[in-house]
């Protein structure tokens, strides 16, 4: 069977080069006579894997020395609690709610203190990013929280909010490593890797040193304290070893592509192909305000539930996988992460044109 074009929002498409390399090393990694799946996380071989992964990520993102990199478990959703447990010293935090994931993070934070919703786009089904240039940031807020790219709704912060001196915490799960980023503008950057970096099971946290302390909320489990994992070099317990190994391969693949500036250029070109067609189409329409469109996740509709369902069914039969929109919004969604080739987007647009001709 030939490979499909996988437009899944996550777990998502990975670079074929990475999959081929991993397949070749499955039974014998680097002369160890065993798979990384079988390897002790305390071994020299795995220590080299995790050290190299961190080094390559630091190089890709130009991460300053005063930020720690953690490879953790629990996915991005566990960070919804871990953030307030570790950072909510005053029991106050401000949240900008622009989709389902920031909405869930906001609700979770409210369990630990006062969570203030200082901006939201709920009034128009999260189809835009609100103006964040002059927000009512709380004087006693411990941090300001955003989900930078909204996977379900297809929106992206083009400009980071003015947090008025408060640390910015950002969930970047679905735009991780898709473009250059100034790490110094954040207190914490974190993301589940299964969308743009690796297989499900790993969440990467990049956190400024001054935010890593023993002063956490009473009752915070040892496993949910950032300092626990910083002190142990992400090896406090058995880590998601194979997932980290694949992430490391993706980091090296990104470096071979020319780094994050080159990826941004490629991603903008790919997205333009699809958005230009949606803007010209008589049948398909994008659902996001143009100024806030994501380069990674492109939701669209026909206006007919019946036609949407037929499109998804016929697209799947033609080798275009996982185009059905999230269950909460319906329609369609094409996730065109780093590893999706330009040919895949062009093939999808060609299929959409044919479908439109046959069904108008």
The percentage of residues in the chain with a pLDDT greater than 70, rounded to a whole number, is 100
Q: Which residue has the tokens 């798979």?
A: 35
pLDDT of residue 156: 98
Sequence-separated (6 or more) residues with CB below 8 Å from residue 272: none
Which pTM was predicted? Answer: 0.97
Task: Report the C-alpha gap between 269 and 152 in whole angstroms.
Answer: 21
**Pair 7, 348: CB distance under 8 Å:** yes
With CA atoms as reference, report the closest residue to 81 among 105, 54, 53.
Answer: 105
pLDDT of residue 342: 97
Mean pLDDT of the chain, nearest integer: 97
Residue positions annotated with a catalytic role: 101, 171, 195
User: Where are the strands (E) in the chain, listed by range?
Assistant: 5-6, 67-72, 92-97, 114-120, 144-147, 149-150, 155-156, 168-171, 188-192, 203-208, 285-286, 297-301, 320-321, 332-335
Task: Report the C-alpha gap between 207 and 263 in whole angstroms.
Answer: 24
**Pair 295, 175: CB distance under 8 Å:** yes
Below-50 pLDDT ranges, the chain: none
Task: Report the C-alpha gap between 67 and 217 in whole angstroms.
Answer: 22
pLDDT of residue 1: 58
pLDDT of residue 139: 97
pLDDT in tens, 248-267: 999 999 999 999 999 999 99
Coil vs helix vs strand at 203: strand
Coil vs helix vs strand at 53: helix
Coil vs helix vs strand at 40: coil
pLDDT of residue 340: 98
pLDDT of residue 208: 98
pLDDT of residue 329: 82
pLDDT of residue 327: 80
């Amino acid at each position: 069977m030939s490979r499909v074009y996988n437009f899944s929002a996550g777990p998502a498409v990975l670079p074929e080069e990475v999959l081929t390399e991993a397949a070749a090393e499955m039974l014998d990694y680097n002369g160890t006579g065993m798979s990384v799946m079988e390897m002790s996380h305390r071994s020299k071989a795995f220590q080299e894997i995790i050290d190299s992964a961190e080094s390559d990520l630091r190089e890709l993102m130009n991460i300053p020395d005063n930020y720690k990199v953690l490879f953790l478990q629990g996915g991005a959703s566990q960070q919804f609690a871990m953030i307030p447990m570790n950072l909510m010293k005053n029991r106050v935090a401000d949240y900008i709610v622009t989709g389902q994931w920031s909405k869930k993070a906001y609700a979770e934070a409210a369990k630990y203190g006062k969570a203030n919703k200082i901006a939201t786009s709920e009034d128009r089904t999260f189809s835009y990013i609100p103006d964040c240039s002059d927000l009512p940031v709380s004087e006693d807020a411990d941090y300001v929280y955003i989900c930078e790219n909204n996977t379900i709704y297809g929106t992206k912060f083009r400009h980071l909010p003015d947090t008025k001196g408060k640390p910015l915490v950002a969930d970047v799960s679905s735009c991780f490593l898709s473009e250059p980023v100034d790490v110094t503008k954040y207190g914490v950057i974190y993301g589940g890797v299964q969308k743009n970096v690796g297989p499900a099971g790993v969440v990467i946290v990049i956190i400024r040193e001054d935010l890593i302390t023993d002063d956490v909320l009473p009752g915070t489990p040892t496993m949910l304290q950032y300092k626990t994992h910083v002190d142990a070099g992400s090896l406090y317990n058995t880590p998601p070893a194979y997932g980290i190994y694949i992430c490391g391969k993706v980091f090296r693949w990104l470096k071979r592509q020319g780094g994050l500036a080159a990826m941004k250029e490629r991603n903008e070109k790919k997205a333009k192909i699809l958005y230009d067609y949606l803007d010209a189409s008589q049948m398909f329409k994008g659902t996001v305000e143009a100024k806030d469109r994501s380069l990674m996740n492109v939701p669209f509709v026909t206006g007919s539930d019946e036609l949407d369902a037929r499109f998804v069914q016929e697209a799947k039969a033609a080798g275009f996988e996982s185009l059905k929109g999230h269950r909460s919004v319906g329609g369609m969604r094409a996730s065109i992460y780093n590893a999706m080739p330009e040919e895949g987007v062009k093939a999808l647009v060609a299929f959409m044109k044919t479908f439109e001709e046959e069904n108008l």
